[in-house]
Homo-oligomer: A and B are copies of this chain.
C-alpha cells in the first residue's frame, strides 16, 4: 500500500493506493472521523455501479454506516445543473446533514459531479473519492469540482478538497485497454512537466502498465498524484504554477471539440496535444530529444501521436481560438524546454500553431 499527502494546510488530505482497499473502506472512513450517525450518499455511474456499488455499500454498512446511493448515466452529460438538483433531492430524501459525507465512486465525471454536490449541499459537506479509473488520478488531486453549462464545460464549480482518496488497484483490472492508455496519458504528462526520470520509468514500464501489473500501476499512480500534489500545493486556487498542468490541453481540447462522439478520448486528444507542444518546444530551441522522447513514451503507452487524416485543420484552429487560454492575438501555451521541464509562453503566434497542427496531420499521412 502506498500513501501520499496532498499538502494544503488545514485542507491537506491523504491518497491511499493499493490492492483490496475497497474491502477496508469502513476503517478508512472511521480513521478520518466520518461519524456513523449521519447517512452517507454514494454516487456512481451506470458503468461502475453494477461492479462495485453493492460491495462498497455492504462494506460500509458492515462498519456501522447508513448509506444511500444514486446512479447517474455514464458520460459527461451527467455533469449538469439538472443532475445536481436531482442529487440534492436524493441527499435530502436520505436525510444527509452537515456531518454527512458524499462518496464519489468512479472516474472523473462522477468525481467532478459528486464533488460539486458535496461542495454546495448545505454550503459544503465532507467528500470522499474512490476512483475506479487511471485517468481519475488526475482529478483526485486538487479539489477542482464542477458541472457543465450548455455553453461551457466545467464553468460552474468550486474548489472542494476531499477528506481522503481511496484508490483500490483491483477496480482498475476491468478497465478496457483504450481507457488504460487514455489514463496513462495524464500519468506521462505529470512526468513531462516535472520529472524526467519518471518519464524514463514510464517508457521502460509501458508494457507492464498496459498489462495492468498492480505494482507498476500503483507506482505510476503514486508518482502521477505526487507531481500533481506538488504543483497544487504551491497554487491551490490556480493563480499561476497550476497552469503547467495544462500541457497539451489547448490543442487537446480543440481536437475533442472537433471530434465526433466517442471518436477521441480525453487522454488520446491530450497525447496528440503533447506532441504538438513538443514541436512548439523545438521552435523555442528545446533539444530534439524533447520531441522524440515525448513521442516514444506516448506511443509505447498505446496512445495516438499524430492527428488522424480526416480532421480539418481550420476547424481545430477555430476551436482553439475559442479556448479560454487564447488572449488578444497571441496564444498562451505550456511549452517543454527539456524532458521534465516546461515554461509558459504567452507570445505563441496563431500561424505557428496552424503550422504545427498541419504537421501533426502530415505525420499521420506518412504512416
- Residues of chain A touching chain B, judged by Cβ–Cβ distance below 8 Å, are 81-82, 84-85, 88-89, 92-93, 97, 119-124, 144, 146, 149-152, 155-159, 237-238, 324
In contact, B89 and A151 (Cβ under 8 angstroms) = yes
In contact, B92 and A81 (Cβ under 8 angstroms) = no
Task: Provide the bound-state CA to CA distance between A158 and B82, in Å.
Answer: 18
Task: Provide the bound-state CA to CA distance between A85 and B156, in Å.
Answer: 9
The verdict on A156 contacting B120 (CB below 8 Å), with A85-B149, A151-B89 known, is yes
Copies of this chain in its oligomeric complex: 2
Closest chain B residue, CB of each to CB of A149: B88
The verdict on A123 contacting B81 (CB below 8 Å), with A92-B151, A92-B152 known, is no
- Residues of chain B lying within 8 A (CB to CB) of residue A149: 85, 88-89, 92
Q: Which 9 pairs between the two chains have the least Cβ-Cβ distance?
A: A123-B157, A120-B156, A81-B81, A92-B151, A81-B85, A88-B149, A123-B158, A88-B156, A92-B152
In contact, A158 and B156 (Cβ under 8 angstroms) = no
In contact, B152 and A123 (Cβ under 8 angstroms) = no
In contact, B155 and A119 (Cβ under 8 angstroms) = no
Task: Provide the bound-state CA to CA distance between A85 and B149, in Å.
Answer: 7
Shortest Cβ distance from residue A175 to the other chain B in the assembled complex, whole angstroms: 29
In contact, B123 and A88 (Cβ under 8 angstroms) = no
Extra contacts besides A92-B155, A122-B157, A158-B158 (17): CB < 8 Å: A81-B81, A81-B82, A84-B156, A88-B149, A89-B149, A97-B324, A119-B158, A120-B156, A121-B155, A122-B155, A123-B144, A123-B146, A123-B159, A123-B238, A124-B158, A124-B159, A124-B237
- Residues of chain B lying within 8 A (CB to CB) of residue A151: 89, 92-93
The binding surface of chain A is classed by DSSP as mixed
- Residues of chain B lying within 8 A (CB to CB) of residue A89: 149-151
- Residues of chain B lying within 8 A (CB to CB) of residue A119: 158
Closest chain B residue, CB of each to CB of A91: B155
- Residues of chain B lying within 8 A (CB to CB) of residue A324: 97
- Residues of chain B lying within 8 A (CB to CB) of residue A124: 158-159, 237
Task: Provide the bound-state CA to CA distance between A97 and B238, in Å.
Answer: 14
Task: Provide the bound-state CA to CA distance between A363 and B88, in Å.
Answer: 41
Task: Provide the bound-state CA to CA distance between A84 and B124, in Å.
Answer: 18
Shortest Cβ distance from residue A253 to the other chain B in the assembled complex, whole angstroms: 16
- Select one of B97, B120, B144 contacting A120, CB under 8 A: B120
Closest chain B residue, CB of each to CB of A143: B123
* 12 A-B pairs (CB sep. < 8 Å): A81-B82, A81-B84, A85-B149, A88-B149, A88-B156, A92-B155, A119-B158, A120-B120, A122-B157, A123-B159, A124-B158, A124-B159
- Residues of chain B lying within 8 A (CB to CB) of residue A238: 123
- Residues of chain B lying within 8 A (CB to CB) of residue A144: 123
- Residues of chain B lying within 8 A (CB to CB) of residue A237: 124
Shortest Cβ distance from residue A180 to the other chain B in the assembled complex, whole angstroms: 30
Task: Provide the bound-state CA to CA distance between A157 and B81, in Å.
Answer: 13
- Residues of chain B lying within 8 A (CB to CB) of residue A93: 151
Task: Provide the bound-state CA to CA distance between A335 and B144, in Å.
Answer: 41
Shortest Cβ distance from residue A262 to the other chain B in the assembled complex, whole angstroms: 26
- Residues of chain B lying within 8 A (CB to CB) of residue A155: 88, 92, 121-122
Closest chain B residue, CB of each to CB of A152: B92
Task: Provide the bound-state CA to CA distance between A227 and B158, in Å.
Answer: 29
- Residues of chain B lying within 8 A (CB to CB) of residue A158: 119-120, 123-124, 158
- Residues of chain B lying within 8 A (CB to CB) of residue A82: 81
Task: Provide the bound-state CA to CA distance between A299 and B6, in Å.
Answer: 56
Between A89, A123, A150, the greatest number of chain B beta carbons within 10 A of the residue's beta carbon is seen for A123
